[in-house]
Structure 1
Amino acid sequence: MGEQPVTRVTYVLDAPVWGGAEAVVAALVDELRESVRATVVAVRPVPQRLEAVFAGRCELVVVDPVAGKVDARAVLRLVAAVRNTRPDLVHVNLNSPTNNRYGLLAGLFSGAPSVATLHLPGALDSSVQRSVLALLYGAQDAVIAVSQEVRTLLIDTLRVDERRTRVVDNGVRRSRPAVPRSSVPSPRVIGTLGRLVPQKGIDVLLTAFRQLRAEGLDVRLRVGGTGPDEAALRAAAAGLPVDFDGDVGDVESWLDGLDVFCLASRSEGLPLALMEAMAAGLPCLATDVGQVRTALSDGVLLVPAQDPDGLAAALRAVCADAGLRHDLAGRGHELVTTRYSTESMARATAALYRAVILRPRRRLHRGRRRSRPNAPGSDG
């Protein structure tokens, strides 16, 4: 038997901190390693964890960020960096509709088919911005949404042809069994994980946590992640037993140190951090945003977004009731481990890669002339 054909896929990332988009790309690189030769193009500053995760797994190309609309040289450098990887396909990942928009442009002028994944919904500031983004998204060969809410935004607001959109659920992988949780509060440890930005609602969680402490509850809070709001959040946590753990490299081990996981986000798609906590066997609370209700509500306790009183009440109930914690942990673990895996995410993504590569080329792809590339030999 001959060797399995390999497709060259270039992933484009531009977040200054590690988040869900980066974790999804890391999972795809691992799951598709037999059929995809991956290159990651990232912009400075590159998160330390990103460098560590991709070292030895794939080529990492780093370029300067695009400072703005008038920074034409940086745009051209990004386009050249992507083209120089000689991709068979470019996969651009966006945390929000406007994030990494220059990556969309680089994908379009890469000389190869271009796929984009939008991980979060988000507000668009003006009609001009919506029109420009509609052109960029609409010119992609396919756009992946991680939730139906994101797909609706793509179709209704950015006018992407619905035939070129597809929902692919995020997937999680747990390499070891969930750790049993103690029934003895000593104290009860609540945790949250994500980029330290307003979207994650950590300020709301701190307000709720302060209420619990004022009531005399023996609880601690651990916050994993980095981001531009770190200084403000540390100030808001002054005098409270809150640990800011920074960038979490070993997520599984970090989750094993918690009793309860809380996601207080103002908006989400299909939140990977929440799914990882559910896979770890943690009782989980989450705000009713994005696809949390439709995809995960059977395994989490839902609370309204931006409601610190409601969040405090839910946390109080979960911390006090061992039976509730056991029930949430069991249902959450069963739901995520049976329905949402990195293998199924990779299979769906690889199938889309094949369909896009074999589809007749679109007019905006004016790169070098090249023979038809090999499609991935398996779904991963």
Structure 2
Amino acid sequence: MTRVRHVAFVIDSDAYGGAAAHTGLLARHLPGDARRTIVASEPVAALVRDAVGRAAEVITVPLTRGRETAPALLHTLRALAPDVVHVNLIDPGSNTAALATATRVAPTVATLHMTGALPVTLAGAYRDVAFATAPSVEVAAQLRLLLPGQRVVRVRSGVDLPPCPVPTRDEHPVVIGAVGRLTPRKGFDVLLEAVARMMAGSGPPFRVAIAGAGREAENLAREARYLPVTFFGHIRDVPALLRGVDVFCLPSRHESLSLALLEAMAHGLPCVTTPVGDTVSEVRRAALVVPPDDPPALAAALHRLCSDPGLRLELGLRARDRAVEAFDARRMAAETAALLRHAASSRRPSPARRARRAARRPGQPDRPDTSTGRA
């Protein structure tokens, strides 16, 4: 199989979230000595650069998401001349220009993080993708509407596993932590309603720490004005925050499988979450699960954990064990690397290249491309 000497990763997102974190994990944990280059727009590029350190070079290009063409991305990828490109897709339709551009340059593997609308024109954008990976069964099922089944591979998400879980604390107040983009789908408004209900009842003292940035930041801060809630914005050292947390909460309305939730589990934190995407099947008995958009149920689950150190310890141990068993970033990177190698070894000419070759040889059929890239 072809040796991959250079991988280019494309992040086409306007904010740092799961897709960017996923790319950073791949770049840091990809096995082998291949050169790794990440292409992203600001402000994501600066945050990714900080996250990956020396593991990858980060190049900044204008945002492509939602546009029809990506000339700057095309110029950058052609100059890089990678053996294979990996594109992180937020949802099926918003990053099609980045996807089409990548497939013009090199064999491309895409990772889709969320489901979404599938306009009839979308199949053409995915036609030349070598493989598409999905973190959840739901996302994989949607990808199979765009690609033959053998080109869709489920790769379970992974996170860094700290050497030691967070020790259980008996001190008060209990700290409830949450990490994620401040958007409606994350359900942080539901968390604030649950906190208000907890404040109106009896129970041990607690406070809430929320890390993340997003368009709902001002609205959420206004709703939390008289609540024991602190917003930290985007933080670069999430593990440091988690080490000071007793309970983790992610009340998402829509999610495939949250990296933030997996990271909390890896730190041995008891978690409260919702049954969205693959959460229930993957988390199993390692978390309390409540319905989405249900502040009373969320308040009851959080109150239960705040009041019971023994339950916190039990769920935290289960969470850590499940993370070690299934959510190691090194496993995720190894599975993705195998697909990148396979894609690079089966390199075929892009549609544009086939058209140019046909134009140079009028009346002659286009012969199969037997090149194997730079390897």
Q: TM-score, normalised by structure 1?
A: 0.89
Deviation at 1:362, TM superposition (A): 5.8
2:209 is aligned with 1:209: no
Write the letter of the residue equivalent to 2:20: E
Runs of 4+ residues over 6 Å off in structure 1? 367-370
Q: How does 1:8-23 map to 2 (within 5 A)?
A: 8-23=6-21
2:286 is aligned with 1:299: yes
Deviations 1:82-136 (A, max 9, x none): 22211111100012223433211211212x10111001223x1xxxx62222221
Q: Which residue of 2 aligns with 1:342?
A: 329
Write the letter of the residue equivalent to 1:287: T
Q: 1:202 to 1:370 in 2, by over 3 A?
A: farther
Deviations 1:245-281 (A, max 9, x none): 1112112111011110011111111211111101111
Write the letter of the residue equivalent to 1:143: A
Q: TM-score, normalised by structure 2?
A: 0.90
Deviation at 1:221, TM superposition (A): 0.8
Q: Which residue of 2 aligns with 1:195?
A: 181
Question: Residues 169 and 340 of structure 1 are in contact (CA less than 8 Å); yes or no, is this contact kept in structure 2?
Answer: yes
2:122 is aligned with 1:136: no
Write the letter of the residue equivalent to 2:247: V
How many equivalent residue pairs?
Answer: 360
Write the letter of the residue equivalent to 2:110: A
Write the letter of the residue equivalent to 2:38: V
Q: How does 1:285-296 map to 2 (within 5 A)?
A: 285-296=272-283
Q: Bigger CA drift: 256-265 or 333-342?
A: 333-342
2:82 is aligned with 1:87: yes
2:176 is aligned with 1:176: no
- Local SS of the residue matching 1:199: helix
Q: How does 1:297-376 map to 2 (within 5 A)?
A: 297-359=284-346, 361=348, 364=351, 366=353, 371-373=371-373
Deviation at 1:355, TM superposition (A): 1.4
Question: Residues 7 and 37 of structure 1 are in contact (CA less than 8 Å); yes or no, is this contact kept in structure 2?
Answer: yes
What is the identity percentage for the equivalent residue pairs of Structure 1 and Structure 2? 38
- Local SS of the residue matching 1:190: strand
Q: Which residue of 2 aligns with 1:378?
A: none
Q: Which residue of 1 aligns with 2:364?
A: none
RMSD: 2.2
- Local SS of the residue matching 1:98: coil
Deviations 1:318-345 (A, max 9, x none): 1112222111111110011122211111
Q: How does 1:60-139 map to 2 (within 5 A)?
A: 60-66=58-64, 69=67, 72=69, 75-110=70-105, 112-122=106-116, 124=117, 130-139=119-128
Deviation at 1:63, TM superposition (A): 1.3
Question: Residues 179 and 210 of structure 2 are in contact (CA less than 8 Å); yes or no, is this contact kept in structure 1?
Answer: yes
Larger Rg, first or second structure (1 or 2): 2
Gaps of at least 5 residues in structure 2 are: 357-368
Deviation at 1:239, TM superposition (A): 0.9
Taking the aligned partners of 1:301 and 1:136, their CA distance within structure 2 comes to 40
2:29 is aligned with 1:34: no
Taking the aligned partners of 1:175 and 1:316, their CA distance within structure 2 comes to 27
Q: Which residue of 1 aligns with 2:5?
A: 7
Taking the aligned partners of 1:66 and 1:281, their CA distance within structure 2 comes to 38
Write the letter of the residue equivalent to 2:271: C
